[in-house]
Structure 1
Amino acid sequence: MKGFADRVSTVEEYYFSAKLREVNQMIAEGKPIINLGIGSPDLAPDKLVTEALKNTADNPQAHGYQSYQGIPELRTAISNFYSRAYGVSLDPSKEILPMMGSKEGIMHLSLTFLNPGDEVLVPNPGYPTYTSVCKLVGAKPIYYSIDLEKAGRPNFEEIENQDLSKVKIMWINYPHMPTGAPGSKTLMQELVTFAKKHEIVLLHDNPYSHILTKEPLSILSIPEAKEVALELNSLSKAFNMPGWRVGMLTGREDWISKVLKVKSNMDSGMFLGIQKGAIAALNLGESWFADIESTYQSRRKLVWKLADKLGLTYDEKAAGLFVWCKVPEGKTADQIVDELLYERYIFITPGKIFGSDGNDYVRFSLCMPEFKILEAINRIK
């Protein structure tokens, strides 16, 4: 054995992959763990979605390899969804590429755009996969801070003072994970202007736009955005389908075609039943999102009560699937996380895993039934 690839040493195992082994071991030992750490929706997809899957699975002709670009009906459903939800017009045959989840899309995009030595602007705090994939392809992450008082605006003044000559892409994410910063059209216009000025590709990761938001936003709704931006989206959060692994990449045709060259060498198409289920989900009406909104609003109010019990502070204007809380002076995030896990059997996420700017924060997920959140509150009492 002559050793492993150097890239393996540049990353650690994903936090939740490792931590959940410990949590699951505690559950196996009989500990009554309440998991408020992971953002995996516990609610079921609409019945029309599962029926579409079942009906397709019963067809003997449905089990062969599928197109790398997805069936035309799926791309049309995505196009119609973008038109209704964001006011964005997309050509189904050229500007849409279905993907097996947006997380895989982060790898596809990085392999498409980045050479070893290229630099990447990454939000701090931010989704850890941006950094991990950046390192796996030999690029260098350059971290930028965001202003939570200004809807998550990047600190452009700080960024502009750096040498940006090697920066090729910039990851953005609104509503922002983990902080819930909502973003705005004004902010997205500023991002498009910045990207054009410095010839940087904007990659907008957009899975939370229908979770506790006043107005779903797409970067592609901004004039001239298609010149500099691509957008990843997902059915995981908005349609309660995280395990289905259905996402999409949208934007300019020539860039999409280059990503397809990478993707077509990494998978053999998405199971037809999953595609049919995705079509059913994308065709759901506004009542679907209204019901989700109501459920998550109720849960969030309870998580706020839990945070109050712990002396944590939070922004009630934040959006998305999480509550981002600052720890009180005199305590550390690690202390709070460990006390809750080992003394109260409540699992939450330390903010440090999202970057250095998260060191004084913890994150709660809303993916837990109300009675469980109430139980957590009672354990604090």
Structure 2
Amino acid sequence: MIAQANRLDHVEEYYFSTKLKEVRALQDSGQPIINLGVGSPDLQPPPQVMTALHQALLNPSAHQYQPYRGTNDFRKAIAEFYKNFYNVGLNHETEILPLMGSKEGITHISMAFLNEGDEVLVPNPGYPTYAAVSRLVGASTVLYDLKEETGWLPDFEELEKRDLSKVKLMWVNYPNMPTGAVAKKELFEKLIAFGKKHSILIVNDNPYSFILNEEPESILKYSSDLKGIMELNSLSKSFNMSGWRIGMLCGSEKNINSVLKVKTNMDSGMFFPLQAGAAMALRLPQEWFREQNKIYMRRKEEIRKLATALECSFSEDQAGMFLWCKVPEGNTSEGFVEHLLKEYHIFAAPGFIFGSQGEGYIRFSLCASEENIIKACNRLTA
């Protein structure tokens, strides 16, 4: 019997990996489950992207190994995208690294910068992968609480009271998942100053900035010196390309090269047609986002009706593809989700999976058709 590595002792299988097995089993048994739990876009990628993908398949070198840094055209497209939509100038040769999804980037960044015994500031609530990967590489997680009463933003006064001497990296995520909170210039400037003061690398995970958000922002916009900040971004949500597994990391040349040392030992480059399709997506005009957001807004209105019927409360100004709701008094997030699943065949994500500050909340996804969301509402009164 071969024992698993000690690093797995404090890491659980990802919640949705296990819970969705149960949901699929219920569906296979004939139960009409409406899945409002996962943020996997059900809409199609832009048609121009599909055309570019198909055409790239005919390129004579399409099926060979590709550059570890990604194709020159893809990196140029990323630089153009950041300039056009965030007003951030990046050197496509040195300050951009394409990724096989931004989730890959979380692991690569952690491996590139964290040693055993280092500490990592992780948002609570927040994306569970930040903490899980930190533990996998032997670092210790230090949770910083995000609270509804302070707009789900970091409390810098509380952070300054801590012993930060071992903290090397801080994960931030705005627009925030799961809460939908949006960051403005003031927060990014505070984060940059905080990181510089304490020699902490600030990494903003930024995949939701174009979904139901009028003013997309990048932390990179607020500093001419990228040495202490990096940003992950992704095509998964904004362009309905989650299954393509395409993202990007932006930062200083030195930091990008550190991550590249990890990446070049983990893969052999991304499939050329995927990069060609992604480059086309990044060059689409603003109209693409406007049309997508019309669909998401209609869905959000129906999700709000569902949440109201369930006596859940929520803020109106959330960005991203979810609605973060407080469950009725006297309920736990897990209990409320199980009630929805068993009584109404509706699946939502319980807030506790995002950390202790998520207890008492649930998250509804907008990645379901308007028809299915209305159907879910109707089940409550049937």
**TM-score, structure 1 as length reference:** 0.98
Deviation larger for 149-158 or 6-15:
149-158
Contact 1:152 1:183 in 2 (8 A): no
Query: In the alignment, what sits opposite 1:263?
Result: 263
Query: In the alignment, what sits opposite 1:368?
Result: 368
Matched, 1:327 2:319: no
Counterpart of 1:138, as a letter, is: G
Deviations 1:287-344 (A, max 9, x none): 1000111111111111010000000000111111111001111222222201111111
Deviation larger for 328-337 or 344-353:
328-337
Counterpart of 1:152, as a letter, is: W
CA distance in 2, matches of 1:225, 1:244: 32
Query: In the alignment, what sits opposite 2:231?
Result: 231
SS at match of 1:323: strand
CA distance in 2, matches of 1:46, 1:338: 36
SS at match of 2:65: coil
Structure 1 residue 3 displacement after superposition: 1.4
Deviation larger for 145-154 or 274-283:
145-154
Structure 1 residue 50 displacement after superposition: 0.8
Matched, 1:43 2:43: yes
Contact 2:179 2:323 in 1 (8 A): yes
Counterpart of 2:269, as a letter, is: G
Contact 2:146 2:357 in 1 (8 A): no
Query: In the alignment, what sits opposite 1:164?
Result: 164
Counting only pairs closer than 5 Å after superposition, residues 338-357 of structure 1 correspond to structure 2 as 338-357=338-357
Query: In the alignment, what sits opposite 2:241?
Result: 241
Size of the aligned set, in residue pairs, is 381
Counterpart of 2:22, as a letter, is: E
CA distance in 1, matches of 2:338, 2:330: 15
SS at match of 1:143: strand
Structure 1 residue 149 displacement after superposition: 4.4
SS at match of 2:318: coil
Contact 2:174 2:181 in 1 (8 A): yes
Deviations 1:11-48 (A, max 9, x none): 11100000010000011001101000000000000111
Counting only pairs closer than 5 Å after superposition, residues 217-228 of structure 1 correspond to structure 2 as 217-224=217-224, 226-228=226-228
Deviation larger for 4-13 or 39-48:
4-13
Counting only pairs closer than 5 Å after superposition, residues 63-212 of structure 1 correspond to structure 2 as 63-212=63-212
Query: In the alignment, what sits opposite 2:6?
Result: 6
Relative to structure 1, the CA distance from residue 331 to residue 156 in structure 2 (aligned partners, 3 Å threshold; closer, same or farther) is: same
CA distance in 1, matches of 2:234, 2:220: 15
CA distance in 1, matches of 2:4, 2:338: 34
Structure 1 residue 265 displacement after superposition: 0.2
Query: In the alignment, what sits opposite 1:281?
Result: 281
SS at match of 1:259: helix
CA distance in 2, matches of 1:186, 1:160: 17
CA distance in 2, matches of 1:254, 1:237: 28
Counterpart of 1:157, as a letter, is: E
**Any unmatched runs of 5+ in structure 2?**
none
Counterpart of 1:369, as a letter, is: S
Structure 1 residue 227 displacement after superposition: 3.0
SS at match of 2:226: helix
SS at match of 2:268: coil
SS at match of 2:41: coil
Ranges of 4+ aligned residues in structure 1 off by more than 4 Å: none
Could you say what the CA RMSD is over the residues aligned between the two structures, in angstroms? Answer: 1.0
SS at match of 1:120: strand
Deviation larger for 49-58 or 199-208:
49-58
Deviations 1:26-84 (A, max 9, x none): 11001101000000000000111111111112334310110010010000000000001
Counterpart of 1:239, as a letter, is: F
Counterpart of 2:212, as a letter, is: L
Counterpart of 1:46, as a letter, is: P
Deviations 1:218-251 (A, max 9, x none): 0000034513100000000000000000000001
**Percent identity between the aligned chains?**
54
Relative to structure 1, the CA distance from residue 334 to residue 147 in structure 2 (aligned partners, 3 Å threshold; closer, same or farther) is: closer
Deviations 1:236-284 (A, max 9, x none): 0000000000000001110001100100000010000000000110011
CA distance in 2, matches of 1:225, 1:288: 32
CA distance in 2, matches of 1:229, 1:61: 35
CA distance in 2, matches of 1:83, 1:68: 23
Contact 1:151 1:184 in 2 (8 A): no
CA distance in 1, matches of 2:251, 2:126: 23
**TM-score, structure 2 as length reference:** 0.98
SS at match of 1:340: helix
CA distance in 1, matches of 2:191, 2:265: 32
Counterpart of 1:130, as a letter, is: Y
Counterpart of 1:178, as a letter, is: P
Contact 2:147 2:357 in 1 (8 A): no
